[in-house]
Structure 1
């Protein structure tokens, strides 16, 4: 049986959850400003390939991470130009960028497939790492994990407790009213979308340099799409994104932990890998179905619904 209280298992869950935290935080800002970005999967995988390729060629991890963020930001800029400047369909643009990002990842990562590179080591935090169980799980991780601990509350504070956060939320709810108050709606949306793309690229860099420590085509396995779902689960709230990411990180890790578990009469010799691979997307669909029923209730919808202007074109 899988030992669910095993610190090693939870250490892996924290590492997996961090991947979801980073791009989800960025996508929340994009959607809060009114722009839906379905290109996250393409930005993540292009960021993963680009960061690994640059880090391998230069033997500089930091440069690789920065390049991954640049790639994500570049693709997001294309999305912003199409959807904000030219008012093109946000869904079509996002899907197109996922296709573009996937192709770009093959181009960038082709030369480093199967090439070994020492990734980012764990950096134990003195004193905290010695706390029984908790220290091993949370405070013996790498810098990306600690960054996620810091970013979630900071981005929540900015979004809900500062003037810039009020402006971001206002352009996502009623851009016309915001413009009449002198707010530069397009500029705020541009900044939020590009920030979201850079966070997606950072998530990709973490995937290839900080978590899995290799590059191969298709290594995201659709995790970028789960990020889109996570934004809804998180109720467009950075702290909700942090909590939800740990839920989906758990699903991601448990699919490997249950590989040798038998289910009497159904899988007596062990659960097939093909079934386990379905675990994250199926759990996402089920969770969204339940969550959708909850959010459809009028009282709940009025409090925690999606930004009113999300995915709607805006004319000056």
Structure 2
């Protein structure tokens, strides 16, 4: 039972950055903007957050710096995709490649550096048998991600602003005709997405690792993008998907620990194989995706 509780805790810990990043991407996609630059945004935020936390010895400043870095990357994307109306797919891929190179350049002097372990968990509750270790011995960012998920469910389906955001994603022409500033709404959605990707990247380098190596994000930005499709753009399903992919990621280490004779390369492939399998299964019913996908996703809009 102790080992099972540790496995649950590790799965939640692994799924947290996926959850935060995917929730942010869900918002900008609900607004009709497709940003494939999540990997680059997370990498830049990871090194910026790590550098600030390393120099100031304050992880919360590192999280704030990571969020700002993610927002700056999102602003660059917004300028290209919204103001200049460039192709969103090509722009997102370019942002991802740019972020990969920029993070490697910034992080040259921090390679191999590490941060001291940060104490976490909810006092008293983390001492409970089984559930204490499994659920209440986590960093505060884990509980923030759960509150963020609940908040976005309320925002999208219970608030007027969320209704306007979804309307912009479905028909920007109609929203513009009613007097709503479509480009401003999309820009704010991208800023929120950038902040979430920034927090997720900072979590990886400050809490999850905690150290910096080149390519630290290791494809999690792409998995977060796949999660939004897997969840059919619904926050509650994003939560379930993040926990699923987090569990698959942790299983590779669990198999190695108990001595299962599987090559480590195959175990490392598990999260990405799971991503491909899920997307293939979802793609078998294109009508289902079409019914749930924002109608204007990826399409530029000029007032």
So what's the TM-score if we normalise by structure 2? Answer: 0.96
Q: Counterpart of 2:269? A: 278
Quote how far apart the aligned CAs of 1:107 are. 2.2
Aligned pairs for 1:75-154 (under 5 A) are 75-126=73-124, 128-154=125-151
Give me the whole-angstrom Cα distance separating, in 2, the residues matched to 1:66 and 1:38. Answer: 23
Give me the whole-angstrom Cα distance separating, in 1, the residues matched to 2:180 and 2:281. Answer: 37
Query: Does residue 1:53 correspond to 2:51, yes or no?
Result: yes
Quote how far apart the aligned CAs of 1:135 are. 2.2
Number of residue pairs aligned between Structure 1 and Structure 2: 303
Q: Is the 8 A contact 2:2 2:130 kept in 1?
A: no
Q: Counterpart of 2:297? A: 310
Given the superposition, is the C-alpha separation of residues 273 and 290 from structure 1 closer, same or farther in structure 2, using an over 3 Å criterion?
same
2:283 to 280, 283, 292: 292
Q: Aligned-pair RMSD on alpha carbons?
A: 1.7
Aligned pairs for 1:226-241 (under 5 A) are 226-241=223-238
Given the superposition, is the C-alpha separation of residues 287 and 309 from structure 1 closer, same or farther in structure 2, using an over 3 Å criterion?
same
Give me the whole-angstrom Cα distance separating, in 1, the residues matched to 2:58 and 2:120. Answer: 17
Q: Counterpart of 2:180? A: 183
Q: Is the 8 A contact 2:232 2:289 kept in 1?
A: no
Give me the whole-angstrom Cα distance separating, in 2, the residues matched to 1:220 and 1:204. Answer: 7
Quote how far apart the aligned CAs of 1:130 are. 4.1
Q: Is the 8 A contact 1:208 1:214 kept in 2?
A: yes
Query: Does residue 1:220 correspond to 2:217, yes or no?
Result: yes
Aligned pairs for 1:228-267 (under 5 A) are 228-259=225-256
Q: Counterpart of 1:8? A: 6
Q: Is the 8 A contact 1:53 1:108 kept in 2?
A: no
Given the superposition, is the C-alpha separation of residues 208 and 119 from structure 1 closer, same or farther in structure 2, using an over 3 Å criterion?
farther
So what's the TM-score if we normalise by structure 1? Answer: 0.92
Give me the whole-angstrom Cα distance separating, in 2, the residues matched to 1:201 and 1:39. Answer: 12
Give me the whole-angstrom Cα distance separating, in 2, the residues matched to 1:80 and 1:139. Answer: 38
1:231-260 CA-to-partner distances (Å, cap 9, x unmatched) read 011111111111110000011111111126
Give me the whole-angstrom Cα distance separating, in 2, the residues matched to 1:59 and 1:4. Answer: 32
Q: Is the 8 A contact 1:43 1:197 kept in 2?
A: yes
Q: 5+ unaligned residues in a row in structure 1: which ranges?
A: 264-269
Q: 5+ unaligned residues in a row in structure 2: which ranges?
A: none
Give me the whole-angstrom Cα distance separating, in 2, the residues matched to 1:44 and 1:285. Answer: 21
Quote how far apart the aligned CAs of 1:211 are. 1.1
Give me the whole-angstrom Cα distance separating, in 2, the residues matched to 1:104 and 1:209. Answer: 19
Give me the whole-angstrom Cα distance separating, in 2, the residues matched to 1:197 and 1:89. Answer: 19
Given the superposition, is the C-alpha separation of residues 4 and 283 from structure 1 closer, same or farther in structure 2, using an over 3 Å criterion?
farther
Given the superposition, is the C-alpha separation of residues 165 and 125 from structure 1 closer, same or farther in structure 2, using an over 3 Å criterion?
farther
4+ residue segments displaced more than 4 Å = 260-263
